[in-house]
Amino acid sequence: MGKLGISIYPERSTFEADKAYLDLAHKYGFKRVFTSLLEIEGDKDSVLANFRKPIDYANSLGMEVMVDINPALFEQLGVSYDDLSFFDEMGAYGVRLDLGFTGAEEAKMTRNPYGIKIEINMSTGTNYVDNIMSFSPNTDNLLGSHNFYPMRYSGLGLDHFIYCTKKFNKYNLNTMAFVNSHDATFGPWPHNDGLASLEIHRDLELATQVKHMKLLGGIDDISIGNAYASEVELKAMSEAFFSTKPTLKVVTGENITDNEKVCLFESQHSYRGDKSDYILRSTMTRVWYKDREFPAHDTNDIKRGDILIGNVNFGQYKGETQIALQEMPNTGSINVVGRISDDELFLLDYLKPWGDFQFEEVK
């Protein structure tokens, strides 16, 4: 099982606010904490003083703090890649290299005596990780994470994201990507229009971003890039992440019956294996509820994302639950009882035959 994460930025907040946020995230099973040294000023002592307190508190909760750095910062702080004692003294679980070295240095860093994890940038699309692997790193200490993007339209495209992720999956390295809170107000930099890795995630609900990441596969850990997410968001993200099956948001029709609600919301759904281009079939509801009444109503033509239940005119298919994958005429034997919420329609592309799923009613 992967891990959930949050981000804190001590130089832009207070210890009290960070502490309250860490407590809240810990309550919902969050394990990772990301923070950044890229925008800091001052010498080693002042940096340590500012970051040590929140890092110590996170550690006391059993959380793991990853500190974002780059080679210029090593120089600024007078730290060497072959001596990571500064980060051990800081209490960091690991360091994330926003910009890397040549490959040999990263590999050497993974063999540090403190067991500090070295997390490298997954978003470049180069052979960077292959180069590091050629220098025999300790792969137990080598992780990958995608960037996040505070500028709208600058986030990763989906194809590039998948391409980059596969480079890391090839070596079975732990991977992480960022999602975006809509209640959070700040990140490490002055301009902030959200902090997601994938551009298509920028305006989606946090839980929907997480569902998509899980359905995509290849990403172990998911962290919120900006601070502070609300308790409602943290709870929804935790439920989506730890759920054993994806939950699709459904807007029900005005005329949906009680029996149809039972089919949708009180039943186990499984995507029938002999898949169709037109409908996703969850067939067992027609078996479980074969003796219930399903009168015809709302037998209008069908659009992608419509939730369908066979009515009394549909013979042996009465009571079967379906999701429309494309437009179709309605012969009068199918009730359109609701539809997948517009913002989650795209998730239909990622459901796989034989996979389980469930529905959640939303307004």
- Quick one: average pLDDT of 196-221? 98
Output the pLDDT for position 72.
82
119 and 96 in contact (C-beta within 8 Å)? yes
CA 68 – CA 189 distance, rounded (Å): 13
Could you tell me which residues come within 8 angstroms of residue 138 by beta carbon, excluding any fewer than 6 positions away?
A: 110, 111
List C-alpha distances in Å: 361 to 77, 173, 206, 338, 339. 53, 37, 17, 9, 10
Output the pLDDT for position 39.
72
Is pLDDT above 80 for 290?
A: yes
Output the pLDDT for position 49.
82
Is pLDDT above 80 for 183?
A: yes
Q: Which of 100, 145, 95, 133 is nearest to 115 (CA)?
A: 95
Output the pLDDT for position 222.
99
Task: Place 90 in a pLDDT band, splitting at 50, 70 and 90.
Answer: very high
Domain 4-243 is of which CATH architecture? Alpha-Beta Barrel (3.20)
Q: Where are the domains of the chain?
A: 4-243, 248-361
pLDDT in tens, 119-140: 999 999 999 999 999 999 999 9
CATH code, 248-361? 2.40.100.10
Task: Place 45 in a pLDDT band, splitting at 50, 70 and 90.
Answer: confident
Is pLDDT above 80 for 330?
A: yes
Output the pLDDT for position 266.
97
What is the overall mean pLDDT for the chain?
Answer: 96
CA 363 – CA 11 distance, rounded (Å): 40
Output the pLDDT for position 40.
74
1 and 244 in contact (C-beta within 8 Å)? no
Query: What is the percentage of the chain residues whose pLDDT exceeds 70?
Result: 100
Task: Place 337 in a pLDDT band, splitting at 50, 70 and 90.
Answer: very high
